[in-house]
Chains A and B, each alone.
Chain A
């Protein structure tokens, strides 16, 4: 008991000092002395969860049906492009019914050539040996492309990666904010934005797929049939964005939003908000050629399958710049510009969970939590003092050191403190003295059995150890499961409990043992009051 070598004293003291040092920046940041901490010292800080800092939490889920649809559409585009390279293959009756893409090859001798070209369009998938689409022929002239399950899965995975980046660029175009955008469970994206209390604008930004396309208006279509939803072959009927009827456009895309390099909100000659877009080199060339070939014909500007406007091409547009007008407000034009510049979402995202906390409520929680922590700690300290006297003082010093260590470790790992985390902190304060209670009660018992002081203290620490370890393992199991299953705030609670278990065993066992050993060695007490 009394052998507590010098190096151990130094080591324990060092750990304690380090813990205190690491916790100070976080403690200061809750007060107005946040800038008082010298810059040359470690700057580790605990981050605050959204329930304390205020902000918005959104959980987005990919719309599987929309993902499927977009994938089919993309395949349809590449099939048309591919087959146009071989003029001998004449096709018709393109259909995307039933989640499959199929078309008719008019000349039966060209079916094999068409199938070969289709096979080249499909890609092999890693590991499985499967390809992302199955190519088959039915009724000897109809080529059918069916998405394979692993192809669909891979496409969704790729789409989620792209979607995550797009969402991040839309919320934070400058890349300067401390936001969280991560994919979860394969088809979800978690978005956390501190400081935003009204998430409507966020959702507006994220909600737009922002698929921009330019297509020629089909002037040969019969207006009456168009309003009934029927379009000539090679064309399709789309609704106007302002709700004013329908319009028939050619299926072939002149240029798409993929070929944009920039989009900005601006104003037209009449002072109405519009969007200036700039194409990349390839896009500019395509746009120039298409406008040259179609002077004096109208073309449609289509966003997410709705026609924003259908202006006339008065002259070829050669510079790769264009304006998009529609019935915009400054805000909607700005949002659309951000969405266009950040790229199109490869899949539509639905908000399936939303939580918002105002900064005021968060501040109030911190304030009340801090007071409750202080009062609770004082209550426990007082109780330990009147129950165990000097040994209670040691337990109390350990308790305070423990509080600093928990904060210090959280700061070191940049852990997030949530409101339930504060509850976990208070709970740990109440429970951390358990080890000292076990030890002190055991010392009391051993004294009653007639052991001498040093012997009693030594046995007390040794025998209590079994119970301390066993009892703390139960906490580790329940807190570990909580950390694994829990979401956000609850995980914050579990993490504080886990850290608290480890630090409390250190402070309650090693640290108090050191204090007691040093005291006994120095004073050689004849009697102890416990």
Chain B
């Protein structure tokens, strides 16, 4: 059987040649992504700003305008209504957080619950959520804390396991990946809920997965080829690990792509965020994690202890 080789044997791409161009492009993309996120804002779900959401399913197609008029009259507010399918039968109705007491007010949701089946025979409320301002503030703070902690924790682990330059490289890679994914959510205005935060945490883990495998090989090669200068060594490493990077990213993308296309609609945000994160992470593990090592002055003797270094000079291998 002839096996599929996506990366041919003896591939030799001069990745490091484009490292400065890639850096400039990445920097521009990151800054643009962050500015855009700040300018446009994220479409934060009720998990983080409070409010009420109802998911309703109808037997017959329903005009969105008619539904909107009725719901607005019910709550005396401006509801945002979104069709969840193409047949105009599943809608998500979102109501803003009511002013006043810090409790979740489900008055409107319970009205909708009783009114919908009356006005639209067979209609059903499939899911209802309401989150108070207090809880949403806590969830937002906890999420931010968790992402920051995960980034730091992994950077520190890599610093201990490798060298400080590798830790910095990992941290920069993560910051880049998170910034780009945030920009994507700002651009598409896909709702950001707790599941998306879980996706961000997963990206932190998976983006670094690639980076760690490459760093591992950098360390191995630094010990093996002490006389090789750093740029060719990094190129060699990237080419050696390229096949693995491509195959693993593809298997993850196959699984997530399926989940995104035919999986439950409720976790679409989670699936697409990780899908995108894996693609971004594959790029950044090559063009951010590795070039950082050059700028931070990693040398063939970086992994030798101080007294070993002296010996290495006296007795070159």
A residues neighboring B (CB under 8 Å): 51, 59, 61, 197-200, 203, 350-358, 360-361, 364-365, 368-369, 371-372, 375-377, 379-380, 383-384, 386-389, 419-420, 422-423, 426-427, 429-431, 433-434, 437-438, 441, 444-445, 448, 463, 466-467, 470-471, 473-475, 477-479, 481-482, 484-487, 489-490, 493-494, 497, 529-530
Contact = CB atoms under 8 A, between A and B. Distances in A.
B220 to A, nearest CB: 8
Contact of A427 (B9, B150, B195, B274): B274
Contact of B267 (A358, A361, A419, A477): A419
B194 A486 contact: yes
Contacts of A386: 3-4
A471 B248 CA distance: 12
A471 B266 CA distance: 29
Interface string B241-279: 101100110111111101100111111001100100000
Interface stretch (B32-40, B98-106, B181-189, B292-300): B98-106
A487 B264 contact: no
A377 B9 CA distance: 27
Nearest to B254: A379
Given A376-B258, A485-B146, A467 B217 contact: yes
A372 B194 contact: no
A466 B241 CA distance: 14
Given A358-B127, A434-B209, A489-B194, A420 B270 contact: yes
B104 A426 contact: no
B198 A420 contact: yes
A437 B244 CA distance: 6
Nearest to B146: A485
A368 B251 contact: no
B202 interface: yes
Contacts of B215: 470
A353 B267 contact: no
B264 A368 contact: yes
B150 A477 contact: yes
A49 to B, nearest CB: 12
Given A354-B129, A467-B217, A477 B205 contact: yes
Given A59-B135, A437-B248, A426 B263 contact: yes
A482 B198 contact: yes
27 contacts: A61-B103, A200-B110, A350-B102, A352-B131, A354-B128, A355-B129, A356-B129, A358-B124, A358-B127, A372-B258, A379-B254, A379-B255, A380-B251, A387-B3, A422-B264, A429-B255, A437-B251, A438-B244, A444-B243, A466-B220, A471-B209, A471-B216, A478-B202, A485-B149, A486-B194, A490-B194, A490-B197
Contacts of B202: 427, 478-479, 482, 493, 497
Contact of B212 (A448, A463, A470, A493): A470
B266 A365 contact: yes
Interface secondary structure of B, over-half rule: helix
Given A434-B209, A478-B154, 4 more contacts: A372-B259, A426-B263, A470-B213, A474-B205
B96 to A, nearest CB: 16
A336 B55 CA distance: 31
A396 to B, nearest CB: 11
User: Max chain B CB contacts within 10 Å: which of A59, A419, A490?
Assistant: A490
Interface stretch (B15-23, B66-74, B137-145): B137-145
A438 B3 contact: no
Interface in B43-93: 55, 57
Given A388-B3, A437-B251, A477 B153 contact: yes
A352 B134 contact: yes
A474 B206 CA distance: 8
B251 A360 contact: no
Contacts of A200: 106, 110, 113
A485 B250 CA distance: 30
A420 B195 contact: yes
B288 interface: no
Given A387-B3, A427-B202, A481 B264 contact: no
Of listed B143, B255, B265, B266, residue having the most chain A CB within 10 A:
B255
B157 interface: yes
Contacts of A388: 3
B238 to A, nearest CB: 13
A380 B145 CA distance: 34
A493 B266 CA distance: 14
B153 A481 contact: yes
B240 interface: yes
B264 A426 contact: no
B1 interface: yes
Contacts of A438: 213, 244, 248
Contact of B130 (A354, A389, A419, A479): A354
Contacts of B131: 352-354
Tell which of B130, B153, B201, B209 has the most Cβ of chain A within 10 Å. Answer: B201
B208 interface: yes
B251 A434 contact: yes
Contacts of A445: 240
B204 interface: yes
B135 A353 contact: yes
B126 interface: yes
B284 interface: no
A475 B149 contact: no
A130 B209 CA distance: 54
Contact of B243 (A351, A383, A441, A466): A441
Nearest to A200: B110
